[in-house]
Amino acid sequence: LTQLVSRRAPETDGLLRSLATLQKVFDVTVVLNYRRYFEWAVSACNSLQKPRQTRDNYRWPDRDQLEDITFARWYAGLHDRGKCPTCTYNWAKFFDPAYHPTEHVARRYEELLPGVAVRLYDLHQNGTVATNFVCQALPHARAACDALARADAAASLVMNPTHPVRSEYDRLLIGAQRRKMVSTKRRRTVTRHSLEAAFPDLGKRPGLPMVCPSAAALRELRERSA
């Protein structure tokens, strides 16, 4: 629903009309989660740029397509597509980068469904997403809340499993291809898995050069996460 409301395509208008009709007979509350912006942005980049069979980056690129797409480039392109025209944005392009995604979606719901109640819950609290949702978004489901809370009382926080490590190994692999250090006879994924197995602690090694966003971008990421 979040992406549909942000996108506002003709095929989603029927859904929005249905929600508007429900408002006439029910107390409708839209529940949105909050995730720190700097975590959301990195997760979105990794999710959209990671190699998949349905994407061109699943195969070895041609020599004239050897690009190093870092988070810094991707984030700059999120605001100005001309800064990273070959980056993948897919669903991320439907969010206004001037706002935190949650704030943008809340504004869209309030615009499209006047008078709708909007509630937020924090993804960074202990417990599972399901328990937090039931306990905080469904005020009359106390029995269900208590049962879920007992079941995961000792559970640690589990966030989106999308992790930058695999993307970083893939970037190193393409850098090695650019320098003709690896063979392209094996599939790209097979070679990347071999690289991960050979250097499992790569991210902890000192002295590796880092490509960071600009100072202005880092400041924006921090301020929008508050």
SS3 119: strand
H or E element, residue 101 = helix 101-112
pTM: 0.72
The candidate with the shortest Cα–Cα distance to 91, out of 3, 157, 161, is: 3
Beta-bridged to residue 117, according to DSSP, are 29
What digits encode the pLDDT tens for the residues 189-200? 888 888 888 888
The pLDDT, as a whole number, for residue 109 is: 84
Regarding beta strands 29-34 and 117-122, do their DSSP bridges make them parallel or antiparallel, or are they unpaired?
A: parallel
Phi, psi of 53 (to 5 degrees): -60, -30
- Check residues 168 and 198 and name the one with the higher pLDDT: 198
- Listed residue (88, 3, 90) closest to 50, CA to CA: 88
Strand partners, 29: 117
Please give the residue that has the higher pLDDT: either 110 or 57. 110
CA nearest to 1, candidates 100, 123, 112 = 112
Average pLDDT over residues 69-80: 88
Q: Judge whether residue 162 has pLDDT over 80.
A: no
pLDDT at 155: 55
Q: Which of 59, 9, 37, 49 has the alpha carbon at shortest distance from 190?
A: 59
pLDDT at residue 122 tops 80: yes
Task: Quote the pLDDT of residue 143.
Answer: 92
pLDDT of residue 113: 83
Among the listed residues 45, 53, 94, 30, the one whose alpha carbon sits nearest the alpha carbon of residue 211: 45
- The 8 Å CB, 24+ separation contacts for 75-82 are 75/41, 75/45, 75/213, 75/217, 75/221, 76/213, 76/214, 76/217, 78/41
| Of 49 and 53, the one with more pLDDT | 49
Q: Which residues contact 11 (CB under 8 A, 6 or more apart)?
A: none
* Confidence band for 4, pLDDT divided at 50, 70 and 90: low
Residue 173 and residue 188 in contact, taking contact as beta carbons nearer than 8 Å: yes
Question: Average pLDDT for residues 131-150, to the nearest whole number?
Answer: 85
DSSP structure class, residue 200? T
Q: Name the token pair of 177.
A: 């291809």
Q: How many Å apart are CA 67 and CA 86, to the nearest integer?
A: 9
Q: What is the pLDDT of residue 209?
A: 75
| Per-residue pLDDT at 56 exceeds 60 | yes
Q: What is the pLDDT of residue 25?
A: 87
Average pLDDT over residues 135-157: 78
With 70 as the cut, is the pLDDT of residue 7 above it?
A: no
Q: Average pLDDT, stretch 161-172?
A: 69
Q: Tell whether the model's pLDDT for residue 11 goes beyond 80.
A: no
Query: What is the token pair recorded at 59?
Result: 């195969």
